[in-house]
Structure 1
Amino acid sequence: MTESVSSARQLPRGRHGLPREEVIASQRERILSAMAEAMVENGYVGTSVAAILKRAGVSRETFYEQFRSKEDCFEAAYERAVELLIANIVDAINGDARDPAGPTESDRMGRILEAYFDGLIAEPAYARLYLVEVYAVGSKAIARRAQLQEAFVDMIADVLDARTDEQRFACQTLAAAVSAMVTARIAVDDLASLKALHEPLLDLVRRSGDLYGAAMPRQSEVGA
């Protein structure tokens, strides 16, 4: 799994001789991590720039050199969270690239779900940021949230070979259902129950035949 939010590296004290680019990157990572962690305790509305600075261990000047505002910092933290999650899912989908036979569509769908849940559990602060706190930020952030969900739909539709408008819509409803169930659990800090969703959701896809895409057997063939 990728490095957790709380493990962003602190620069050594005093003179360190590190390149400026590395210093800026380290400061940025700490600020984004601090933003996510502060919102776990106080939510987006209750999180001040001062609280972010205290957690990140940077000055106000350093913060405003990189971000125009708290909302701008949130947007950057959101993109970082999405980057981590998508990378985990893509790695999971391609996990058996060395196997000449390759994974089945059912296997790949299972990996999407497993990587998604694992990513949320590994990064709970970022998970809360883009699933819960995003709705307190404003319409621009919510629109970005919708784009992320469509990216998830694209992955599902590609794996299950959704060819028709009806199959694409079914993939959208599946993604929306997963999002709603996951968001509710993240909101009440019930991370332990996320993994329990994996098998029932995968079984639902298997039993649905070609509802979601041509890759799965038709419903009339499932019983056979």
Structure 2
Amino acid sequence: MRTTGSDALTRAAKEDEGGFRARLLDALATCIAEDGYRRTTVADIVRRARTSRRTFYEHFSDKESCYLALLADANARMIEQISAAVDPKARWDVQIRAAVVAWIAAAESAPALTLSWIRDLPSLGTAARTLQRDMMDAFAAMIQTLCDTEELRAAGIQPVPRQLAIILLGGLRELMASTVEDGGRIGDVTEVAVEASIALLGPRD
């Protein structure tokens, strides 16, 4: 099938749109790492992205909508990375360790964004609360899926209730946030996070 000049222009425009969106999100992530979310302005984002306000508002209605898109993308990637790191045929405790280590590594790759997600997001409006709930549900579902393997069932580990997954999520998120606020590295809590997760999710005597 022959590609017309009009088709090529349309495709190029779509690729350009995606490129601008990615640049704006990357710019916001950099601003958060250097100045924090609250001190960042649309002008800061536009300047770092080397684009215009008009382009910004073609993609996002305001700073908050850009921030929510950044968090949604980052958390979707994190869930993919954690899920890919786990071998469902490995010993049950090895599976849990692999998931936690991958989680810590993903969070440590962008500590300022991880901290902002935990501290800044809950203070925003309705759209932010909806995203926070959706992300918590997605992570809880990930834990439930990762724990529903033959190896874990053979070890006597029952399906993980959503409430238990949320307890684990909340505890690990707070541990990571307080570690960053105290000047530490998220990776410093890897072993205690693994131990706590094994204790919480492991087989009952």
Range into which the TM-score falls when normalised by the shorter chain: 0.7 to 0.9
SS of 2:37's equivalent in the other structure is helix
C-alpha distance in 2, partners of 1:73/1:169? Answer: 30
- 1:172, CA displacement in angstroms? 2.3
**2:96 pairs with one of 92, 109, 120:** 109
Residue equivalent to 1:195: 187
Q: How many pairs does the alignment contain?
A: 186
Is this contact kept in 1: 2:82–2:103, CA < 8 A? yes
> Structure 1 139/41 Cα, relative in aligned 2: closer, same or farther at 3 Å?
farther
> Structure 1 26/124 Cα, relative in aligned 2: closer, same or farther at 3 Å?
farther
Give TM-score scaled by structure 1 length.
0.72
Give TM-score scaled by structure 2 length.
0.78
What CA deviation, in whole Å up to 9, does each residue of 1:94-115 have, x standing for no partner?
Answer: xx47xxxx21222221121111
**1:78 pairs with one of 71, 77, 87:** 71
What CA deviation, in whole Å up to 9, does each residue of 1:77-136 have, x standing for no partner?
Answer: 11111122112112112xx47xxxx21222221121111111111223432342233134
Is this contact kept in 1: 2:83–2:146, CA < 8 A? no
Residue equivalent to 1:145: 132
What CA deviation, in whole Å up to 9, does each residue of 1:8-38 have, x standing for no partner?
Answer: xxxxxxxxxx922222111111101111221
Question: Identity rate of aligned residues, in percent?
Answer: 25
> Structure 1 63/134 Cα, relative in aligned 2: closer, same or farther at 3 Å?
same
C-alpha distance in 1, partners of 2:24/2:143? Answer: 33
C-alpha distance in 2, partners of 1:61/1:49? Answer: 11
C-alpha distance in 1, partners of 2:182/2:23? Answer: 26
> Structure 1 135/160 Cα, relative in aligned 2: closer, same or farther at 3 Å?
same
- 1:186, CA displacement in angstroms? 3.3
Is this contact kept in 2: 1:81–1:127, CA < 8 A? no
Residue equivalent to 2:144: 157
Is this contact kept in 2: 1:92–1:112, CA < 8 A? yes
Residue equivalent to 2:62: 69
Is this contact kept in 2: 1:88–1:119, CA < 8 A? yes
Letter in 1 for 2:14: E
C-alpha distance in 1, partners of 2:71/2:203? Answer: 37
Letter in 2 for 1:160: C
> Structure 1 201/39 Cα, relative in aligned 2: closer, same or farther at 3 Å?
closer
Letter in 1 for 2:170: A
RMSD across aligned positions (CA): 2.4
- 1:189, CA displacement in angstroms? 5.1
Give yes or no for the alignment of 1:217 onto 2:203. yes
Give yes or no for the alignment of 1:179 onto 2:173. yes
> Structure 1 25/187 Cα, relative in aligned 2: closer, same or farther at 3 Å?
farther
> Structure 1 169/80 Cα, relative in aligned 2: closer, same or farther at 3 Å?
closer
C-alpha distance in 1, partners of 2:193/2:116? Answer: 24
C-alpha distance in 1, partners of 2:30/2:99? Answer: 26
Residue equivalent to 1:43: 36
